[in-house]
């Protein structure tokens, strides 16, 4: 919550402005995903925050395209400038937003890495962050949040 009890509002979009969005409510801390699909979609690993789909609104979608990357996930991008924007699991009520597409200041921090077993061979992952060999970004973020709160 922001000052005065108002929910936090974040805005963001693609490089050319043909896709813009508004996020309301809490955002999950950023998790880096090193899976091969994220690396191909972004040209490097993906850095995502996540929120409930109900708290996500497109304010401009002239260039928005969706690609069915697998039977269980879709990836959103700008068809004009090529920006990688979103990842959403089919049949779930959340959406992941590429952290680099958020307008500053974000107030977010990167807290962990997933799919590290699939990472590219051309870089090293910072060993100071918690990581998982496979998926589970939301569970990892929950564990980190609990550790920080002393629960």
pLDDT in tens, 87-113: 999 999 999 999 999 999 999 999 999
pLDDT per residue over 39-76, tens digit each?
Answer: 999 999 999 999 999 999 999 999 999 999 999 999 99
* Stronger pLDDT, 3 or 120, i.e. the higher one: 120
Element (H, E) at 145: helix 137-149
Mean pLDDT of the region 20-25: 97
Q: How confident is the model at residue 126 (pLDDT cuts 50, 70, 90)?
A: confident
Render the burial of 115-146: b for 16+ CB within 10 Å, e for the rest.
bbebbeeeeeeeeeeebbeeeebeebbebbee
75 strand-pairing partners: 67, 87
How do 73-78 and 84-89 pair as beta strands?
antiparallel
Mean pLDDT of the region 126-143: 78
Q: How confident is the model at residue 6 (pLDDT cuts 50, 70, 90)?
A: low
Residues 31 and 143: their CA atoms lie apart, in Å, by 12
Q: How far is CA 128 from CA 104, 110, 140, in A?
A: 25, 11, 14
Q: How confident is the model at residue 4 (pLDDT cuts 50, 70, 90)?
A: very low
Evaluate whether 120 touches 132 at the Cβ level (below 8 Å).
Answer: no
């Amino acid at each position: 919550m922001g000052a005065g009890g108002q929910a936090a509002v974040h805005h963001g979009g693609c490089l050319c402005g043909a896709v813009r969005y508004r996020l309301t409510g809490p955002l999950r801390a950023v998790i880096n995903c090193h899976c091969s699909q994220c690396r191909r979609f972004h040209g490097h690993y993906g850095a995502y925050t996540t929120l409930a789909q109900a708290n996500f609104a497109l304010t401009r979608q002239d260039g928005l395209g969706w690609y069915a990357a697998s039977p269980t996930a879709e990836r959103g991008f700008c068809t004009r400038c090529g920006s990688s924007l979103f990842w959403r699991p089919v049949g779930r009520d959340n959406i992941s937003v590429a952290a680099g597409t958020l307008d500053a200041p974000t107030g977010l921090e990167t807290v962990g890495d997933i799919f590290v077993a699939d990472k590219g061979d051309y870089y090293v992952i910072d060993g100071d962050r918690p990581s998982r060999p496979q998926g589970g970004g939301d569970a990892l973020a929950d564990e980190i949040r609990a550790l920080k709160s002393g629960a």
